[in-house]
Amino acid sequence: MLQVCTGDITRLAVDAIVNAANNSLLGGGGVDGAIHRAAGPRLLELTRTLGGCPTGEARITPGFDLPARWIIHTVGPVWHGGDQGEAALLRSAYESCLALAVEHQLRSIAFPAISTGVYGYPFAEAARIAVQAGAAYLSDMDIIIYCCFREPDATIYQQLIREITDEMDR
């Protein structure tokens, strides 16, 4: 099932939380900084050895001090107005995470709203891509959570989930 929650993604006890990382995988601001702080210094020790991650791809690490068992790090696109392949890259970021989750036989995953912070992707457009990608993996996962930081963001996801599940039922 697809679910929405509001709050801090680092608190979620799921198989994997997704990190909206940057290409270096060495930490940063926003959700990335929060995840590094909550997972503890062993995360940076490990990500230093990974050699970064191209935009649209994903890498998996243990969750270390997090309640989540794994962290799937992905890099969404920086928004440049929409004609630089941003939508395809964002879709690829979500799909890479979900493919890794399936490969590791994970059943629950929580996503932040990738690229919608400092990377500037318009929220509703990004959320639509997130929900479409999740819907395609529903049969592989028990639960896919969209974790929002702000209540109005959660409302946007709720509406999209309703639309997309209605379409699937038709």
> Exposure string (b/e) for 103-128, b if CB count within 10 Å is 16 or more?
eeebebbbbbbbbbbebebebebbbb
* Position among 2, 4, 10, 64 found at the interface with ligand ADP (CB under 6 A): 10
| Shortest Cβ 48–ligand ADP spacing (Å) | 20
**In this structure, how many other beta carbons lie within 10 angstroms of the beta carbon of residue 96?**
21
Burial (CB < 10 A; 0-12, 13-18, 19+), residue 66, is: buried
Nearest CB to ligand ADP, comparing residues 27 and 98: 27
Q: Are 24 and 16 in contact (CB under 8 A)?
A: no
Q: Give the rounded distance of the alpha carbon of 91 from its chain centre.
A: 11
* C-beta of 63 vs 112, nearer to ligand ADP: 112
Is residue 8 a contact point for ligand ADP (CB under 6 A)?
A: yes
Binding to ligand ADP (CB under 6 A) within 47-106 occurs at 76
d(CA 151, CA 6): 6
Q: Is 153 a catalytic residue?
A: no
The three-state secondary structure class of 82 is: coil
Of 29-37, 43-51, 131-139, 157-165, the window that binds ligand ADP (rule: CB under 6 A) is: 29-37
Among 15, 32, 86, 95, binds ligand ADP (CB under 6 A): 32
Q: Assess contact for 58 and 72: CB atoms under 8 A.
A: yes
- Which letter does DSSP use for residue 81 in this model? S
118 binds ligand ADP (CB under 6 A): yes
Q: Which of 27, 56, 112, 134 binds ligand ADP (CB under 6 A)?
A: 112
Window of 8-16, 56-64, 83-91, 133-141 that interacts with ligand ADP by CB under 6 A: 8-16
**Which residues lie near ligand ADP (CB under 6 A)?**
8-10, 20, 30-32, 34, 76, 112-119, 147, 149
Q: What are the residue numbers of the active site?
A: 32
